[in-house]
Amino acid sequence: MIAFQCSFAQQKENSQAIKALMASESQLEKQPDSAYFYANKAFKIAKQDGDKKLLLQANFAISKSLKNIGKVKPAVIFAQQGLSIAQQLNDDQGMLKGWILLGNCYASQQQFDKAKLIYTYGFKYFSKPKKLPELSAINNAFAELYLQMGNKKLAGQFYKDNIHNNSIPGNNIGAANAHNQHGSFLAATNDFKNAIPEYLEAIRLLKTDPNAPTEKIQGMALQLSDAYRKSGNIEKADEYLEISNGSAKKAISEPTKIAAKSPQKPVIKQKAPEPIIIDKKSIPEPTRKSEIYVLFLLIISIALTLFALYLLYRNKILREEKRSALAKMKSHLFANIAQELSLIDGDSEQLSVISAQLLELSNIENGQLKPDLKPGSLSDFIDNTIQPFVLQAAAKEVNFISNVEKTDDSQYFDKDIIAKIITTLMANAFATTLKNEHIYFSATIIKKRLQIRISNSGSTLKKEALEKLFDQFYEKNENDAGVGIGLALVKELVACYHGEIEPSIHENTLRFVISLPLKLG
């Protein structure tokens, strides 16, 4: 009965999150502040329930609302978070939305080179194997970008590429959409002479496909009617207006009107939600006052976790008759977590990361974490995992080189553990690498073992400090912030996977070599 009640409660929460996302989408253009409110509500529900698919949508919804408010920097962060979740889930549609949204954010700030780089990632991903709907969406994003840059010639070329890619047997609807998009582009640039043949071809293709929706044909007919009217051919304009639906006829009832309107859907009168005005300072950034309460709860959660860890270690050491070692560990752990929290300075996201890492360590100690091996493309998974660091390298002006060995074979591996090992070590490398230094990443499969190498130049670590590198909150000297919990967690995750990790330092280059079995005995 209790399990049923929990399941019912979770379904109810998910339903509320979905409704909040729908409300956010409906308010996005007219009232972005209200859209943000609903998106943030969905985000909190999804995060509490641990529903990654809903959390993915909520991140994108928050990003879009923040972009429309004018807060592009946090919008980029939420778009990146959503993209990262999509890559973990191998969700093609999620990755497509993430790349396009992230590129749009950069384009809105006229950071066109970054936008092109983002779209290029998406284009390469969906090219092998070729996925036409997704490639078409990326091509359209490129076209809109070049149009925004004032390069109509290149924008038109991307629309033509879409037509070429979709002109294959059995893809009439995709080809029709491509012709219609090119026609709309030409019409927007007042080239009605060339727009009309594109619209005609789009309608012809739809009529030959029995699965084509009638409403789609009517909508294209209305666009064609408007193009004829603006080109001065009133007779043809009226002919295609007849093909259009009834609401379209009412929309353009006078022959002298040339402004096109989309087919109107029946309007259901609903009570519009009251506008929600929020202070721009309350948008989720690291130092927002609106997050003080959440921050307090996170601190309490960390304190309870630390206390639980303290009890766990105390009992273990007492059984091994090492009471003095326990006292030393307790003093060191609490002193350094206090320093770590003071350095965070109100960053609730970083507190959440520390809390999660502590819980992960606790699960490993309790024997609750076991590798969950599932088949999949290991090289594709690793390639997707390191993609966000390409952007980080560009932002920090760090030279990042990656080499992931491609293989068509399916391997059995634990996605969660491998992703945490890679992202934690990569995050540590970027945190300690200065401008113009180098970071190198490679992944190869040797004798049924995955070998990962991560190195960064410019390290000030001494060889004698390597033994203490995996200690929790280890500090190189009193002026350094320390390594926190991350590297200690990596060591435990590698051990849990029955693997090996070996750090080394040579000529100011810190290197980690990780070896993991792809099949456990």
0.85 surpassed by pTM: no
* Euclidean distance between CA atoms 88 and 380, whole angstroms: 11
Once rounded to an integer, what is the mean pLDDT over residues 321-340? Answer: 47
Kindly indicate the confidence band of residue 170, based on its pLDDT and cuts at 50, 70 and 90. Answer: confident
Kindly indicate the confidence band of residue 152, based on its pLDDT and cuts at 50, 70 and 90. Answer: confident
* Euclidean distance between CA atoms 262 and 185, whole angstroms: 16
Report which of 142, 140, 136 is spatially closest to residue 119, judged by C-alpha positions. Answer: 142
CA distances from residue 489 to 160, 364, 470 in whole angstroms, order as listed: 51, 9, 8
CA angle 251, 256, 258 (to 5 degrees): 60
pLDDT value, residue 119: 86
What separation, in Å, do the N-terminal and C-terminal C-alpha atoms of the chain show? Answer: 39
Amino acid in the structure at residue 219: G
Non-local (6+) Cβ contacts of 216 within 8 A are 176, 206
Kindly indicate the confidence band of residue 358, based on its pLDDT and cuts at 50, 70 and 90. Answer: low
Q: Which residues pair with 444 in a beta bridge?
A: 451
What proportion of the chain, given as a percentage, has pLDDT over 70? 74
By mean pLDDT, which of 68-82, 348-362, 418-432 is the weakest?
A: 348-362
pLDDT at 361 over 80: no
CB 435, CB 456: distance < 8 Å? no
Once rounded to an integer, what is the mean pLDDT over residues 381-404? Answer: 90
